[in-house]
Chains A and B, each alone.
Chain A
């Protein structure tokens, strides 16, 4: 038993080295295989601002919520095209504390762009947006055809 244990140890270490090598190769493969767009956008490679988005639904509306704390209304753009809702904007670096020493800087500054494919057709002209407590809520009324219909069941 002791002999077996002794023999297994170098064996295992060899495999773990290979494991690490394979892992590294996977990493490199992934780097080359990722579409250039993804690299440029930096979804995984660079730290970009991806505000959290929620998609909700009730009987009459589709609701899209985005967490955008501390934005100016004029710096947020919302557009709807072919059933795809697009929210973009920019948070500018505030010069409020110029000359002050920065001790910590975690809040994102810069552009963001998020798109949501809507799960139902909506009335494009009746879309409303509200910005409250740092959350942008977009209410998109469903088109008549997309609403659930109440079907009365007659039981004889």
Chain B
């Protein structure tokens, strides 16, 4: 579960695809994840979702992202449709180094950016050995 540091390719918030596999009511949004020296940045594409439609929950080391699309109030009827009406959902497993109290998120033009700072305590420390 927490082998984040040992898996180079899977470093950072790991995505868990099994959560989306059998769930047809959700679509999995595309994400970019970057690791900076201070933490991680997660960008997710959620076109049609505004601030009110976002639900970000944290349970232990699991971050669940749900985006509800804005309701269409127009009476226009569709002639051709490619977009999905399903809500977005994706689950990420967080690096234990992340300070979950300091996570912040913002959404701008359908792109959600979540900042996940690393906690101070994971920085290398010297342990003094007592006599």
Contact = CB atoms under 8 A, between A and B. Distances in A.
Interface bracket on B: 35 or more
B76 A61 contact: yes
Interface in A49-104: 52-58, 61, 63, 65, 67-71, 97, 99-104
Given A61-B76, A133-B49, A107 B81 contact: no
A112 interface: no
A134 B76 contact: no
B110 A70 contact: yes
B62 to A, nearest CB: 17
A55 B80 contact: yes
B12 to A, nearest CB: 4
Contacts of A107: 30-32, 43, 45
B34 A100 contact: yes
Interface bracket on A: 20 to 34
Contacts of A132: 109
A94 B36 CA distance: 15
Contacts of B11: 101, 103
Given A67-B110, A101-B34, A57 B77 contact: yes
A79 B32 CA distance: 31
A68 B47 CA distance: 7
Interface in B7-50: 11-13, 15, 30-36, 40-41, 43, 45-50
A119 interface: yes
Contacts of B104: none
B55 interface: no
B33 A103 contact: yes
A127 interface: no
Contacts of A102: 32-35
Given A57-B77, A61-B76, A131 B109 contact: yes
Nearest to A67: B47
Interface of A: 52-58, 61, 63, 65, 67-71, 97, 99-108, 119, 131-135
Interface of B: 11-13, 15, 30-36, 40-41, 43, 45-50, 70, 74-84, 108-111
26 contacts: A52-B84, A54-B80, A54-B82, A55-B81, A56-B79, A57-B79, A58-B76, A63-B74, A67-B83, A69-B45, A69-B110, A70-B45, A99-B36, A100-B36, A100-B41, A103-B11, A103-B12, A103-B34, A103-B40, A105-B32, A106-B30, A106-B32, A107-B30, A108-B30, A133-B110, A135-B47
